[in-house]
Structure 1
């Protein structure tokens, strides 16, 4: 006979002095329970947290929890995960964590993230996944309106007034195209580089927040005078953004340039207009092929 006492979700809500509707919502957000055919069912995470079923003649089959169940295992009402915070800015959880790390609010763990004293000052609360043990941080809604964080996000997304004045699809720069003389690099990135287009700014900002060392417009180590868009020393990888593929002359130069990369067996990542709006999905996959991992 078990000594451990169990409470129904409704009785547990009374013990914790919160509305039962809120507790059910928190347990569902945490994937402890789910609603199927108008009935609450336990998920594996809920079982791992100590939940189980009981059956009575009056109530039928229902979910119960250990009397010692800790509410902090569920997401507090109103608190934001990196995922929900990212949804407010149309960014991935990975990108939000990178930005919060750059602001000194969190730091990397072997897996996951740890809140720093600075993060605690703005309301960050340390949590860990009940199943995997991977640490993560919850944030109060006020973080989404933090001026410093919003400014950084605007810069990284290219939403500043200055950034919008520059073309997104400006071509790559090399001497033979004459583009280096026609359009000077005037758009400042988050790490202080000056680039020639908004697309290049978004790529540079992505590499910076991912903590990937990179050079902008580095000359290729060959006899011909050719410049790449970006160079990553860690994997000896070059990145080219092709932005004016409707221009026949540009396409011809693109073909010649790709031929140079192939001739010297240089590792090349190619990006186009469609990739710019989904760098969080595209770049980690492409970089991994060259042995470069992103967190």
Structure 2
């Protein structure tokens, strides 16, 4: 909907001119006290009328609120820019090859939100990234907004860029070395270069301390019999899991296994752990505690108790989910 001939703008048109998500502008105007929710529609308040708001009738849309275009320069609306929040729909501006559902699923896999019948529910990790629980005023479903700077967060950039590039980013050891032209072909719709990629003159760092030697039932490469037991247990329990999954931090930290359905990171502690690997594993444990991530260690002495330990831990986390 656009404004009428006297340069008045509907709220959706105003949001488009301000380059703001429509839902965010409605919530902001409500917080300012300019509009209020009455039944299934928005209504002007006295403050909103003082700002020049009025109603317009449309055969197609019924009655809706319009505003003078002078509000484009209003200091309160201009100030939204500094505290601007963004939704997955807005993130598509930076990741045009990803859909809203893909972004939400990725955030859910990271443990930043849970996808439920009520909508998108924020988790403690999501709060750590600045997420804020919102409600869709039209259908009552739960939504989440994020601080706009999340698109510049190295962790989010790494994860979403991984989806955009199908996993073959410039940070990947298997990326081709033949691509020497740093300038992207913008006209072809190519993805912009990864600003957080390892510089060309620095060696690529592979955080794992070993080379995979065998595979589990699901084809995942493992380094030891202990990892094989854990991998096969997860497969036979029909739990989708990742191998050597990066933690949601900038540091090059990974866990042996990650189960997104319950947000569980699993580390297998062998009998003889090299000093370099030990420091990494201790740091992984510390980060999981700092971020309150679900974490489980399986020691070499527990190899015959894998079933008991994981059954109990997964059941405990399933009740919380």
Q: TM-score, normalised by structure 2?
A: 0.34
Q: TM-score, normalised by structure 1?
A: 0.36
